[in-house]
Amino acid sequence: MQEVATVATGPEPQRTEGPPRRSKAENRIRALFNQENIATMVVALIIGIAVILPLIALFINSFLVLDDSGWDTEWGFDNYLLMVTDRIIPKAFVNTILISSGSTVLATFLGVSLAWINARTNCPGRDFLEPYNLIPFFLSPFVGAIAWHNLAAPKTGLLNNWAQDYLGFETHILNVDNLWGVIWVTGIFFAPLVYLFVVGSLRRMDPSLEDSARTTGAGLFKTTMTVTLPLVMPGILSGAIIVFVTSAGEFGVPFKLSAPYGWETLTTQIFSKAVGDDANHYLGAAMSMALGIITVVLIWIQQRYIAPRSFTTVTGKGFRPNVLDLGSWKWVAFGYNVLYILVAVVLPILSLLVVSLHPVWEATIQPAQMSFINYEKTLFFWREDSIQAATNGIFNSLILALVGATLSMVLAIVVSYMIHRTKGPMTRLIDFLCVVPIGFPGIVLAMGVLVTYIQTPIYATLWILLLGYVTRFFPYGQRNVSSIMLAISEELDQSSRMSGASWFTTLKRITIPLLKPGIFAGWVLLFIIFLRELSISIILYTTGTETLSVGVYYLSNFENEPLTAALSMAQTIVLLAAIFLFRRVAGKEALTA
Amino acid sequence: MTSASGKAMVEIDRLIKRFGPETAVDNFNISISEGEFVTLLGPSGCGKTTTLRCIIGLERPDQGEIRVGGTPVVSAEKDIYLFPEDRDLGMVFQSYAVWPHMTVFDNVAYGLKIRKVSGKELKQRTMRALELVDLAHLADRYATKLSGGQRQRVALARAIVYEPKVILFDEPLSNLDAKLRELMRDEIVRLQKEVGITSVYVTHDQSEALVMSDRIVVMDKAVIQQIGDPETIYSHPANSFVANFIGVTSLLEGKLIQRNGDVCEMEVSDGASGFTVKALGGEGASAGDRLVLSLRPEDVTLHLSKPDDHSLVNLIEGQVIDTIYLGSFMEGRIKAGQNEIGIQINHYENLTPGQTVYLSFAPEHGLCLTQ
């Protein structure tokens, strides 16, 4: 630079073009209020209100105690006290812990073993089986509970009847109408969560990590115990914690299988105490606080201590992972995997189909009686005898899923962009706000939303449901977008800015087109989640704003099994179609979020 | 260079390994003496790593036998196969494969613990191995906190700590940057001489092979092309592949006119006509056979005008294509008819593209090779 200055001896260079001169203060203000910063602040504010307000309201309301008249409230700890002294709530608390622990053990065992079989053994048909292992992840556990009730209820279960008719058993052999049933259904439905956390690190692990243990003198078993297992342990623990938290917040399964038979859980208690004729929102808020504290602490541990410990075991070299030759045991592994798909996907769907075709279900298959009357009653909204809760649910859920997924993804894109591409003052706050909703079960967040907005006009409309959905689930979309955004070089954006495009033009022309596959995958994922959503909807719905799952709940509770099965089946078919679409769009690898 | 004693440590007989229809290693034979440092050298996919993995036991050969210290560790014919952990060998992997969930100390101590070494002896031997690779001060650190070079030292210490019969290296330096690679290369050589351990080293880097090895095995397309000490490999390559792969060389095609003792008279084809050169090599070829003349750049003399000295044989006329600055010297490319010859030139020689120059080389510096 200096050399140039001494060489250029001509007249003072004239500034013909360039930025206009401004004062320092003006520059500073302009810097603060550029497009980018304004957008960041606005988004931080919106997310802040959406996420934090319900939690604050929940906290405050949990200290409001309803007096005997049921009209006035005063401050106090009575709600919390009641959780210890109540006849049912302490038991519900214990049951929640039992169910979560049990389903965590089952899901972890299933998830890890299936992931290992698929990633590391020569089990036949692995490529074919893998997508089916993941299907339960997308289906509704509530519908799974309904299906398993049809299969293995003590008196009316199909499997029980067959066992008595064909195998000569005296009484029923299976009974899912208890805590074990809840553990069974949540366990098999949440196994893919663990699977997804483990399979990637198993599959992409540098094989020389294990090879070097072998060459150093460790046998296969010793290598597995001292190298392979410790390396995937963070993934296993993360998966296990997520399963525990998800099970603790699961409403549909215990509501269907255990609550009617005397085993209440925190979620079913929140529902029955906070919603209904003698509703006590304040007690519901206190119970939600208790559940939320458990889950948020666990998620915090996972995010803070376990996720960062995951080992980078991937190398650039494109080696295939070590595949273990199981010999003839490979057919045992194959059978095991097929059995999982059978109990988690095939049997439940078949049972729904069978039951839904009978006008009256008497626990035996009667081909002569079969008709589509149940589908007509639940789906054909123009019929006079159609059931409103069901037909409303279809419309409402489709609207909520379409609008909610779109809105969530818009938010997800903007938020991801802010976290990864800007260094505004609000960036870290936004990053934090995106993790918070993941820490709370849907039913807890829904209680917060309920107590916050119950006296506003949005209560009893679809808007409050939309607000609950987006607040709780947009972080999922945000993770989807963020992971891709991290993989795309920031220089691509910067080149656009350098070429003179504004921040918004860059977002529109460069960033979003590059993110398109991730955005669409995230959209379909949220569409699926919203279409089957129950635990938020059950708290926030009113007559007229039922959702699909609420419709199923209504039919299950107030109508009969065949009608329930028909609507469940309809929901399952839409979900399966969405899963198919998701796989087409996102491919195999997009599921690791 | 030879710390090797006569006793054979690794013997490989008629080794064949196939992957489906592909033959990865075809009829590999060698006997490696105790203390010897042997390098398997070749382009990627030549079968060198597969051979190494057969020795350690990570691959099972389709045919042949491998003996370590006289006892067979694998024999396809006798149906013998020892697992890697039962062969008492050590291996250093390309990706270091240092376990991220253990400290440096635990990584190195692993092999000793497996061998039921414990207490004071465990600590002593582990620390001694760490001192050998200059990492004793990092013993308590987690492997994830180490640089690439340090990780490779951990891998090295881990492989030698239990004093295996043989240590195998699978391109251990290829993930390191140039400076570090040289440093580690010298380190490994020093360590190998110090410990006196038999070593088999796989690399695609010819300079590594030349500097480190007692003997080099050049491989291409699953087949051994030549086995020899570095000097022989460099100055007497067995064929044009070896000549081209080791060092820089110009290859000129032609055919044999006649042989006089050691000297071949060869006609280098040059489109329609050609020119005659005298060079060594061409063993076993008869008049009319196709040969390739290999010329090392440093063996070619440059003349800016036609030399008067009529005693110069092998005088070639050509035009400068271009010159490349390579720091300590320059390289020039000369077009001689159809052929292109690389030469080493000094900085002060100013060549302009298109300029006519003359090249000469002594008959003992040219080598006629079979293709």
Contact at CB, A214 and B100, closer than 8 angstroms: no
What is the count of residue pairs from A and B with beta carbons less than 8 Å apart?
73
Tokens of A157: 């279960």
What is the reported pLDDT for A355?
93
Average per-residue pLDDT in chain B?
Answer: 87
Residue A42: HSE in the Cβ half-sphere, 13 Å Cα cutoff: 9
Q: A589 pLDDT exceeds 60?
A: no
What is the reported pLDDT for B3?
46
State mean pLDDT over A416-440.
80
pTM: 0.82
Q: A590 pLDDT exceeds 50?
A: no
Contact with chain B for residue A386, Cβ under 8 A: no
Q: A19 pLDDT exceeds 60?
A: no
Specify the pairing of strand B166-170 against strand B89-92. Answer: parallel
What is the reported pLDDT for A4?
41
CA distance A490 to A479: 17
Contact at CB, B95 and A208, closer than 8 angstroms: yes
What is the reported pLDDT for B170?
92
Contacts for B26 with CB less than 8 Å, ≥ 6 apart: B16, B47, B222, B223
Helix, strand, coil content of chain A in percent (nearest 5): 75, 0, 25
What is the reported pLDDT for A10?
43
What is the reported pLDDT for A588?
52
Q: A11 pLDDT exceeds 80?
A: no
Q: Name which of B101, B110, B158 is nearest A230 (Cβ-Cβ).
A: B101
What is the reported pLDDT for B265?
84
Contact with chain A for residue B336, Cβ under 8 A: no
Q: Which residue has the higher pLDDT, A169 or A16?
A: A169
- The shortest C-alpha distance from A227 to chain B (Å) reads 7
State mean pLDDT over A260-280.
86
Q: Which residues of B fall within a CB distance of 8 Å from A317? A: 94-95
- Domains of chain A are 92-314+326-350 (1.10.3720.10), 372-593 (1.10.3720.10)
CA distance A243 to A198: 13
Contact at CB, A206 and B101, closer than 8 angstroms: no
CA distance B155 to B206: 23
Contact at CB, A212 and B85, closer than 8 angstroms: no
A interface test, pick of B86, B110, B165 with most A CB neighbours within 10 Å = B110
Specify the pairing of strand B215-220 against strand B37-41. Answer: parallel
Unique residue bearing structure tokens 């055919």 = B255
Contact at CB, A231 and B56, closer than 8 angstroms: no
In chain B, which residue's Cα lies nearest the Cα of A219? Answer: B85
Contact with chain A for residue B257, Cβ under 8 A: no
Q: pLDDT tens-digit profile of B157-195?
A: 999 999 999 999 999 888 888 888 888 888 899 888 888
What is the reported pLDDT for B273?
64
CA distance B5 to A232: 45
- The shortest C-alpha distance from B38 to chain A (Å) reads 19
State mean pLDDT over A335-344.
95
For the sheet containing B301-303, what is the strand order? B301-303, B356-360, B315-325, B330-336, B339-345
State mean pLDDT over B127-148.
89
Helix axes A561-586, A388-421, angle to 10 degrees: 30
Q: Which of A433, A539, A487, A474 is nearest to A48 (CA)?
A: A433
Phi, psi of B268, deg, nearest 5: -85, 125
CA distance A226 to B114: 11
Torsion over CA: B79, B82, B87, B90 (sign): positive
State mean pLDDT over B291-296.
86
Q: A166 pLDDT exceeds 90?
A: no
CA distance A51 to A415: 14
Q: pLDDT band at B41, cuts 50/70/90?
A: very high
What is the reported pLDDT for A431?
82
Q: pLDDT band at A239, cuts 50/70/90?
A: very high
Contact at CB, B93 and A216, closer than 8 angstroms: no
What is the reported pLDDT for B317?
84
Contact at CB, A211 and B144, closer than 8 angstroms: no
CA distance A212 to A442: 46
State mean pLDDT over A53-68.
88
What is the reported pLDDT for A9?
42
Residue A110 CB neighbours (<10 A) = 22
Phi, psi of A174, deg, nearest 5: -120, 150
Q: Which residues of A fall within a CB distance of 8 Å from B83? A: 214, 219-220
User: Strand, coil or helix: what is B369?
Assistant: strand
State mean pLDDT over A388-416.
90
Q: Name which of A211, A217, A227 is nearest B93 (Cβ-Cβ).
A: A211
Q: Which residues of B fall within a CB distance of 8 Å from A221? A: none
Radius of gyration of chain A (CA): 27
Unique residue bearing structure tokens 């399979």 = A199
Unique residue bearing structure tokens 């963070």 = A234
Contact with chain B for residue A320, Cβ under 8 A: no
Torsion over CA: A29, A34, A38, A41 (sign): negative
Contacts for A471 with CB less than 8 Å, ≥ 6 apart: A50, A51, A54, A437, A445, A449
What percent of chain A shows pLDDT beyond 90?
Answer: 40
Contact at CB, A215 and B56, closer than 8 angstroms: yes
SS3 annotation, B222-234 = CEEEEEECHHHHH
CA distance A302 to A237: 8
Ranges A22-31, A302-311, A534-543, A580-589, most confident: A534-543
A interface test, pick of B101, B161, B170, B175 with most A CB neighbours within 10 Å = B101
Q: A585 pLDDT exceeds 90?
A: no
Residue B222: HSE in the Cβ half-sphere, 13 Å Cα cutoff: 12
CB–CB of B218/B233 below 8 Å? yes
Q: A7 pLDDT exceeds 50?
A: no
Least confident of A31-35, A97-101, A402-406, B92-96: A31-35
Q: pLDDT tens-digit profile of A167-187?
A: 888 888 889 999 999 999 999
Q: Which of A390, A585, A429 is nearest to A51 (CA)?
A: A429
Q: A546 pLDDT exceeds 80?
A: yes
What is the reported pLDDT for B50?
93
What is the reported pLDDT for A28?
66
Contact at CB, B85 and A312, closer than 8 angstroms: no
Contact with chain A for residue B145, Cβ under 8 A: no
The conformation of residue B289, written as its DSSP 8-state character, comes to -
Average per-residue pLDDT in chain A?
Answer: 85
CA distance B97 to B151: 8
Geometric angle at alpha carbon A523, from A522 and A524, rounded to 5°: 95
State mean pLDDT over A517-534.
89
Q: A346 pLDDT exceeds 90?
A: yes
Contact at CB, B100 and A212, closer than 8 angstroms: no
State mean pLDDT over B23-30.
92
State mean pLDDT over B108-126.
92
Specify the pairing of strand B215-220 against strand B223-228. Answer: antiparallel
Q: Which residues of A fall within a CB distance of 8 Å from B101? A: 230-231, 233, 311
B37, with CB counted inside 10 A (0-12, 13-18, 19+), is buried
Q: A5 pLDDT exceeds 50?
A: no
Contact with chain A for residue B172, Cβ under 8 A: no
Q: A277 pLDDT exceeds 70?
A: no
State mean pLDDT over A192-208.
88
ipTM exceeds 0.90, yes or no: no
Q: Which residue has the higher pLDDT, A319 or A379?
A: A379
State mean pLDDT over A344-355.
94
Q: Which of residues 59-118 of B touch A (CB under 8 A)?
A: 83-85, 88-91, 93-95, 97, 99-101, 110-111, 114-115
- The shortest C-alpha distance from A481 to chain B (Å) reads 28
Specify the pairing of strand B315-325 against strand B301-303. Answer: unpaired
Contacts for A57 with CB less than 8 Å, ≥ 6 apart: A448, A451, A452
Q: Name which of B84, B95, B101 is nearest A215 (Cβ-Cβ).
A: B84
